[in-house]
Amino acid sequence: MMLGIGELSRATEVKVPTIRYYEEIGLLPAPARTASNRRRYPQAAVQRLRFIRHARELGFDIPAIRALLALEGDGEPPCHRADAIARAHLDQIDQRIARLTALRDEISQMLADCDRACDDHCRVLEVLADHSHCRHQEH
């Protein structure tokens, strides 16, 4: 059974412009066309698009998704390479969490240092105006 782009969109919950974009960048193979030039997708496109959507929801970037998709059908067991891609993504997530935690701590400390009376100065504005007042190491 072949699907039109609207049907594919509904089946996968991926917007039509996003489907076209994935085709354009090669994540989704170009579909067959009817005589009237309408796209017709095979059922396999539903699974592939769901895979892409779920990977995006988990934060994988396009190059990682491309690499994961390339593991399908290359003849070798993909587990080790898929694991390496997922571990690299997890490392990136951990790095972002560390940066966000440092930012949270800095802003929390900035607010704790604020006497809220703001008689002659505001600690929040002072810290934001001069990076040297920041306590975290990443400037």
Give the pLDDT confidence score for residue 135 in this predicted structure. 65
Q: Which alpha helices (DSSP H) does 58-122 contain, by range?
A: 62-70, 79-113
Instruction: Provide the 10 A C-beta neighbour count for residue 13.
Output: 9
pLDDT digits (tens, 9 = 90+) for 65-112: 999 999 987 667 788 899 999 999 999 999 999 999 999 998 888 888
Q: 60: closest CA among 24, 81, 90?
A: 90
What letter represents residue 74's amino acid? Answer: D
Lookup: tokens for 116: 């809220």
Give the pLDDT confidence score for residue 110 in this predicted structure. 81
Residue bearing tokens 């997890």: 90
All domains of the chain in start order, with CATH: 5-113 (1.10.1660.10)
Residue bearing tokens 């802003």: 107
Residues 6+ apart with CB under 8 A from 66: 26, 27
The lowest-confidence range among 1-15, 32-46, 67-81, 116-130 is: 116-130
Q: Distance from first CA to last CA of the chain, Å, rounded?
A: 56
Q: How far is the C-alpha of 122 from the C-alpha of 114, rounded, in Å?
A: 7
pTM for the structure as a whole: 0.78
Q: How far is the C-alpha of 7 from the C-alpha of 59, rounded, in Å?
A: 25
